[in-house]
Structure 1
Amino acid sequence: MGRSYVILFTVFIFFLIPAAAGSAMDGQYLLNISINSTENVSFANHNESPMEGNWIKLSGGTPVTLPALNLVFNGVNSSNFTRSGKTINITASVDNYSDYMIEYPYSSHSIYTNVSGNNEVNLSFFGSSHFADCNIDIYLVSSTPDEVWDMFNDVIDGNTTLIRNLINDSEKKLNYSLNSTGDNSSIRFGPQQAGNYVIFVLLNSSHTNTNEYSILSATAVQVLKYESVVTAPSKAKTNHFFNVKIKLTDVKEGNYTFGAIMIHKDAYEARLRFEFNGTRDQTNLTIDGADIVEKGELTGINLNSLNTKKLQEIIETVIGPENGTVSFTDETDSTRAFFSLTTNDLNTGDYYLLVGAYESGEGLVAFNQDIINIYPSPPSPHSSSGGVGHSDEPGNVEKTVNLRKYLKAGDSSTYNFNNVVTSVEVTPDKTYGLVAAKIEVLHGQPASITTEPPAGEIYNYVNVFVGTSGWSEGKLSSSVINFQVPASWFKENNIDPASVILYRHHNGNWHPLKTTMSGQAGRYYQYSSPTPGLSTFMILGSVGDSGDVEPVATPDLGTVAGSTPTPEATWISDKGIPGFGLLLGIMGVLIAVYSRRK
């Protein structure tokens, strides 16, 4: 879904969602805002029928598949207040604070690119029969969804300056007549330059009073700045990585953030909830529980500063950890990227693959949508090159804990296992997106390890994996394992808590790691050990005060026995500068939708 995902998620918030309430009331207008009884802004409802309810359907350009959109409006049906000396009266044709729901009728939305033949913006308007034979004015406004949101907020506050300016300064205004059913299927704006636009359909002034704006519908239009070429496989195995390439064509210099998102078809939906009590401060919007508008303000990012972490959190909440993956690169002047996407822990089936580019100050400038099939990996008991690492001896595994975290270049991320290993802190050298990690608490020493352990009392053996077995080697600039040992174990075995050392098994030997006792929490002593790699670890203590060894982290770099390295996520830069991870084509879109210009 791409661009529209973003845009729809925005403009539809303002105009569609209120329309949802219209499904339970009579009359042609859902929401009416009167200012000093001299100015009036009304929003038509969409309740006449699924396809004839004042909808705009774009044509031309490239259609992208939208997620299934379900919209819920819950709000006040009357509000009166005074602000800045103006008396504002808001009425809605809904039951007070009751849920009203509507499904957006279209499964696709056109996006455009600034090249001949793909930049012609055309549309059809399917209006209510109430507006049969009426004249309408259609405005193509150079604007962003966040500016439209500002307009909505200003109107609530009794200020119509922004809506007047947007309409008066529109790129193009067309006047059309609707037919006997309230429709017109031949509306043409023609070729448009790259940019963000909003289309407003207003009832012609011949049908309204002075200073009255009767808004029948609105939608967002994106004309992308660049074409792009994306190369990706049509299918991939579960618990593996696959490569995706993106290249911008005919590009001018700029600062770009690339990204990709993969969303399972069954999870390709969005439930939007719009709560409105008649004031800006009590206006909230969520998408599947993720806040998009809070107290009247759009959250997330603006066109000049892309908050990829916020977007990533929103998308993870919306799609769920088993139905997709998402990642972003850092900003770069490269016009191309090559990276790896993980299928770790994903459900099988068809996924939408959305790949795009975001340019600082411009927004989404390129976007592609494709489909990739994720199919089960054939079982291989000795293979460790697939998804998150695992023991070759499942009968020796006492307990397993799996987690996924977003790994971004240079940022420390913590997997909180809350077990023997309480957490693993890693700092990646590149952005890898959502990466699975696992700990396996073992019953005893693995049979594959024949090396005798050092003298002392062994508390536990633990396997620690980030990504596939061996995947993390060379990809993490630092790794720290935090673990805990119960105080009762020390008492029962006459062990000095200060003697505890964490050992890592690598290249056939046990290597002591520098271990620091960080404190005591309740009934547990807590420890921390930096490690040069991840594999099998052993927690060992010495009787009495014999633990006088001061181990240091030795350079035992390498992979777990039997592992096969997976493709490394690498960015190809025009200047040879490495970049990072993946994005969200939708992101591009989501980028727009979740953006706010401060």
Structure 2
Amino acid sequence: MRKSLLILILTIFILTSAPAMAGGGKTDVNQIGSINFTDKVVYFQSHTSDPAEGNWITMGCPNEGRRIQLPQPIKLTYSGPKYVEYGGAAGTLNKDEEESYTITYPSTNSYTTLPVYLPNEDVSMYFHGETGLEGENVDIYLFKLTSDCAYGLLDAFQAGDIENLNTLFQDSVDEEYKKYSTQLGDCGDLSDYDLECPGEGQYCIVMVQQNDDGSMTVLSSTAFVVVESELCVSSPSSIKKGDELDISITGAANENACTYGAILIKEQAYKANIEINSDGTRDGTSVIINDLDLIDEFDITSSNYRSKLTRNELQKEIQTLIGEGNGAIAIGEAGQKTLSLTAFDLPVGCYYLLVGAYNPEKGLVGLSQLEVEIKSKGNSNSNKKEENEEKHEPEKNVKTKEQCQQFVSNGHRVKFEFTKGATSVGYVEFNAKKTAGSIETIIEELKGRSSNAPVEPEGEVYKHLNIRVGDGGFANSNNIENAIVGFRVSKKWITENHINMDAITLQHFNGDQWDSLKTDKVDEDDEYLYFEAETPGFSPFAITASKNVL
């Protein structure tokens, strides 16, 4: 990976994830500043922390599960002169000379998470503008970001030649963009605007307004990613302090040509406090993210910014950005799909795990995020229920089996549907309290009692079952809630065994005894009765009933 690509990512994050400047050519909307090029004046619309009126872009989500948590809070502060000349252009920020200017990103879920799209999915955007923009005509530019974009911009800044906007635009972007034109609706908003299905790559959206005097107003901008493949990441949801975190990754196209990387970041350290300090000169400017001087650390102003970082150098640089004691990083060799993160010296707490796949010819081709908890040793080995859930059933006792995989994302209802009808269970669903990535649920219909249950349940047994959700004891009250099992019972079995239909119940073995779960009939057809049962956990189950007294 090149230094310039890393710098590009960080620059895009600064300029798009938390737009620093904004303004317009109208008197009834807020301007924060402008840049005067020789061929055009560009105004920037102001941003506030108001999610409805703050002039922000949000992205529609293709799938409830594929969202990446952004650092929170995201706050950008500029401390420097209000007027700067550089490379033939001049910038003005509408503030007092000694005043700092701060932008804080809205804290709602739509703003603090980033959707990850696949190539066949529609990309849609929303604009939440201030009321004074109602009815305005706007242009939406969709840029595909490449290494050539980075080189074009960096070359121009190195040469001090940014005076002509059209030349700068063509030299850096060339033909890698699309333009859409539309009109803002009520209250200056734009709802569910379709950007079609762009191919895989990293993209930037810039919304502008062409003014009558030939100037241009940048209303807002943001970034998103379209990956070639949906990564399947297998990792425990929790580990004991002192252990390493082992993960495996599959799902990337041409996976043996990819380089896989994983970053573990402590939740409290996952923030972006960005400070830009300047005396009006290039050498006197610093960009500090979470107390790290980005320009000095990554040598941005040097002439060798095109040089490549080795894998070890890149790991070291990113570890420095994360901060010691706040997380860990691992980057494998090409084709290495299992990684081990050194987590033994990390403190107890909740962490974000970001996993990516990089193809040298295509760039980023897969991106996923999970949540991991590091627990103290005393708390991690005391739960016998989790040990029972992880004990697999002997194959000789398994009659039939069916499995389903879904993406589990914090705050969303997840439903695993078993459409083949191989067992009596039709679906399993629950509310996720943590993001865990792709999780597999397995239903086993058994020939006899589960090996995890030492005693038989009371009543007539229709079916013995095992239901396993994920690995590593994921399905516990810390991670899920309001879980439901949907199942069916044969009317033929009910008639032949003189079963009291009102007494059909799903029982769950809790590690010590069988518990009868709240079970309700929800439907029926010519062959089956259909039920739902609320369950506090998973693994051994039995569908039972009592007989009618004749």
Give the CA deviation at 1:311.
4.2
User: Within 5 A, what are the aligned runs for 1:22-101?
Assistant: 28-36=30-38, 38-47=39-48, 49-61=50-62, 62-68=66-72, 69-80=74-85, 88-101=89-102
Residue 150 of structure 2 aligns to a residue in which SS? helix
User: Within 5 A, what are the aligned runs for 1:100-179?
Assistant: 100-105=101-106, 106-114=111-119, 116=120, 119-144=121-146, 146=150, 150=154, 153=157, 157-160=162-165, 161-163=167-169, 169-179=175-185
Residue 347 of structure 2 aligns to a residue in which SS? coil
Give the CA deviation at 1:281.
4.7
Compared CA separation, residues 185 and 351, structure 1 to 2 (3 A): same
Query: Partner letter of residue 367 of structure 1?
Result: L
Structure 2: 5+ residue stretches without partners: 1-5, 381-550
How far, CA to CA, are the matches of 1:291 and 1:244 in structure 2? 32
Q: Is the contact made by 1:289 and 1:317 (CA closer than 8 Å) also made in structure 2? A: no
Compared CA separation, residues 229 and 290, structure 1 to 2 (3 A): same
1:264 aligned partner = 266
Q: Is the contact made by 2:29 and 2:130 (CA closer than 8 Å) also made in structure 1? A: no
Deviates more, 1:12-21 or 1:281-290: 12-21
Give the CA deviation at 1:169.
3.0
Residue 132 of structure 2 aligns to a residue in which SS? helix
Give the CA deviation at 1:18.
6.2
Compared CA separation, residues 296 and 372, structure 1 to 2 (3 A): closer
How far, CA to CA, are the matches of 2:48 and 2:323 in structure 1? 32
Give the CA deviation at 1:199.
1.0
How far, CA to CA, are the matches of 1:32 and 1:216 in structure 2? 12
Q: Is the contact made by 1:291 and 1:299 (CA closer than 8 Å) also made in structure 2? A: no
Q: Is the contact made by 1:34 and 1:40 (CA closer than 8 Å) also made in structure 2? A: yes
Query: Partner letter of residue 121 of structure 1?
Result: V
Compared CA separation, residues 139 and 352, structure 1 to 2 (3 A): same
The answer to whether residue 303 in structure 2 is matched with residue 297 in structure 1 is no
2:435 aligned partner = none
Q: Is the contact made by 1:121 and 1:192 (CA closer than 8 Å) also made in structure 2? A: yes
Query: Partner letter of residue 42 of structure 2?
Result: V
TM-score, scaled to structure 2: 0.57
Q: Summarize deviations over 1:558-588 as a string: whole Å, max 9, x none.
A: xxxxxxxxxxxxxxxxxxxxxxxxxxxxxxx
Q: Is the contact made by 2:330 and 2:340 (CA closer than 8 Å) also made in structure 1? A: no
User: Within 5 A, what are the aligned runs for 1:310-349?
Assistant: 310-330=313-333, 332=334, 334=335, 336-349=336-349
Q: Is the contact made by 1:33 and 1:155 (CA closer than 8 Å) also made in structure 2? A: no
Query: Partner letter of residue 186 of structure 2?
Result: S
Query: Partner letter of residue 365 of structure 2?
Result: V
Residue 52 of structure 1 aligns to a residue in which SS? coil
Q: Is the contact made by 1:8 and 1:220 (CA closer than 8 Å) also made in structure 2? A: no
How far, CA to CA, are the matches of 2:92 and 2:123 in structure 1? 34
Structure 1: 5+ residue stretches without partners: 381-598
The answer to whether residue 196 in structure 2 is matched with residue 193 in structure 1 is no
How far, CA to CA, are the matches of 2:49 and 2:373 in structure 1? 39
Compared CA separation, residues 121 and 304, structure 1 to 2 (3 A): farther
Give the CA deviation at 1:140.
0.9
Deviates more, 1:152-161 or 1:182-191: 152-161
Give the CA deviation at 1:89.
3.2
Q: Is the contact made by 2:260 and 2:358 (CA closer than 8 Å) also made in structure 1? A: yes
Compared CA separation, residues 80 and 250, structure 1 to 2 (3 A): closer
Compared CA separation, residues 316 and 48, structure 1 to 2 (3 A): closer
Compared CA separation, residues 266 and 80, structure 1 to 2 (3 A): closer
Give the CA deviation at 1:197.
1.7
The one of the two structures with greater contact order (alpha-carbon pairs below 8 A, sep at least 6) is 1
Compared CA separation, residues 218 and 298, structure 1 to 2 (3 A): farther
Compared CA separation, residues 66 and 16, structure 1 to 2 (3 A): closer
How far, CA to CA, are the matches of 1:155 and 1:178 in structure 2? 37
How far, CA to CA, are the matches of 2:142 and 2:136 in structure 1? 20
How far, CA to CA, are the matches of 1:34 and 1:169 in structure 2? 24
Q: Percent identity?
A: 30
Give the CA deviation at 1:369.
0.5
TM-score, scaled to structure 1: 0.53
Query: Partner letter of residue 347 of structure 2?
Result: N
Residue 14 of structure 2 aligns to a residue in which SS? helix
Compared CA separation, residues 196 and 80, structure 1 to 2 (3 A): closer
Q: Summarize deviations over 1:456-513 as a string: whole Å, max 9, x none.
A: xxxxxxxxxxxxxxxxxxxxxxxxxxxxxxxxxxxxxxxxxxxxxxxxxxxxxxxxxx
Compared CA separation, residues 355 and 259, structure 1 to 2 (3 A): same
2:242 aligned partner = 239
1:352 aligned partner = 352
Give the CA deviation at 1:124.
0.4
Give the CA deviation at 1:241.
2.0
Give the CA deviation at 1:232.
0.8
How far, CA to CA, are the matches of 1:242 and 1:41 in structure 2? 49
Give the CA deviation at 1:366.
1.3
Corresponding residue pairs, total: 358
How far, CA to CA, are the matches of 1:351 and 1:314 in structure 2? 20
Compared CA separation, residues 252 and 371, structure 1 to 2 (3 A): closer
Query: Partner letter of residue 357 of structure 2?
Result: A
Give the CA deviation at 1:298.
7.1
Give the CA deviation at 1:312.
3.3
Among 175, 180, 183, which residue is 2:186 paired with? 180
Residue 297 of structure 1 aligns to a residue in which SS? coil
Residue 120 of structure 1 aligns to a residue in which SS? coil
Q: Is the contact made by 1:289 and 1:318 (CA closer than 8 Å) also made in structure 2? A: no
User: Within 5 A, what are the aligned runs for 1:349-498?
Assistant: 349-378=349-378
Deviates more, 1:136-145 or 1:168-177: 168-177
How far, CA to CA, are the matches of 1:16 and 1:173 in structure 2? 21
The answer to whether residue 277 in structure 2 is matched with residue 275 in structure 1 is yes
1:573 aligned partner = none
Give the CA deviation at 1:379.
9.7
How far, CA to CA, are the matches of 2:59 and 2:379 in structure 1? 47
1:447 aligned partner = none
User: Within 5 A, what are the aligned runs for 1:5-16?
Assistant: 9-14=10-15
Residue 191 of structure 1 aligns to a residue in which SS? coil
Compared CA separation, residues 233 and 6, structure 1 to 2 (3 A): farther
How far, CA to CA, are the matches of 1:264 and 1:299 in structure 2? 32
The answer to whether residue 232 in structure 2 is matched with residue 229 in structure 1 is yes
Residue 195 of structure 2 aligns to a residue in which SS? strand
Q: Summarize deviations over 1:529-578 as a string: whole Å, max 9, x none.
A: xxxxxxxxxxxxxxxxxxxxxxxxxxxxxxxxxxxxxxxxxxxxxxxxxx
Q: Is the contact made by 1:301 and 1:307 (CA closer than 8 Å) also made in structure 2? A: no
Compared CA separation, residues 93 and 129, structure 1 to 2 (3 A): same
How far, CA to CA, are the matches of 1:143 and 1:93 in structure 2? 30
Give the CA deviation at 1:80.
4.6
Give the CA deviation at 1:284.
3.1
How far, CA to CA, are the matches of 2:76 and 2:294 in structure 1? 14
Compared CA separation, residues 27 and 284, structure 1 to 2 (3 A): farther
How far, CA to CA, are the matches of 2:246 and 2:208 in structure 1? 47
Compared CA separation, residues 176 and 253, structure 1 to 2 (3 A): same
How far, CA to CA, are the matches of 1:300 and 1:338 in structure 2? 36
User: Within 5 A, what are the aligned runs for 1:567-578?
Assistant: none
How far, CA to CA, are the matches of 2:225 and 2:197 in structure 1? 12
How far, CA to CA, are the matches of 2:150 and 2:232 in structure 1? 29
